[in-house]
Structure 1
């Protein structure tokens, strides 16, 4: 069997996704995935801790993008604008060519409750990391948590829209639209509150 071939992690991801879609996640083993690309099961485990992580391997890159976007904002940037920068940085992780894979991956996740739970855990982890990034910049704890969780909600909704059938806008464009909706909503609520106080 071939070992350590160039692009092995990517080949394993593609093979795993195809097998999960065809046979089902529970019915597919790490050995099946390895065999389908001509490597040993041992090689599979050099790249991924288990078959589930084949679907979540990009979490580190996504987290780094969020943190990079948040930390690169100027010192006096308001919290929601920091979050907006983090969202724009994260959008770069999802080029248009990645959309078919993202759609297929999501279809597999939606058929498996354990994978759905892992996806929710990933989003919660992103929110916690973004919250800490904001707090490190001196943002008050409650404000940091509200801004970060709002940002992750925008991210999740934008992702769902981006992979929808017929959607052709870039991930960045969908994210910007979703973020604008949030800012419009919060601005309207703030205006109503001021009117009530008056």
Structure 2
């Protein structure tokens, strides 16, 4: 193995901070996880039909719907939705991320973020979190042929082509079973980050090769 592809949202960034953004917009904080899950659902559904809007477009549409349903004033709705989407680019990183990335890099591995979101947003997020110098420039599915979201097999193949690696040389790290399953079916090794500990893994999906409580533990495991 010589390349580690890193999912970004929730895997590297701590999306629990979005609850405060929803509250500032006048909506309950507990809507944040449902909104984000809905963004992924809608994007993946659109990808099945070959319609691949950018992540920010899907996220903004979903934020407007969620905030309107929570009773946010129509006059504030657009600005509030924009604030939610923009917050994705300024989230904190999980505490294990920087030491974990440093440990992986010190083992001679190339670290490449692969996100449904814009590459520039990912690069800024990681730089602000102190990880910008630990990874290579981010890859975005929007730049893949057809712009298909993960877990499209062609998107993993495109990412590997960008870094000059074969599936056997790459490991995908993520918290999302659907992402890990897609990567496994594309021939990559996989590592599931289970920060909660002991979460049941969906038995309808390909089991990950590794399960770790954080990126720092992954670095230790790959010594």
User: TM-score over 0.5 for the alignment?
Assistant: no
Larger Rg: 1
- Determine which structure has greater relative contact order: mean sequence separation of CA pairs < 8 Å that are 6+ residues apart, divided by chain length: 2
Q: Pick the structure with more helix per residue.
A: 1
| TM-score where L is the length of structure 2 | 0.30
TM-score, length-scaled by structure 1: 0.32
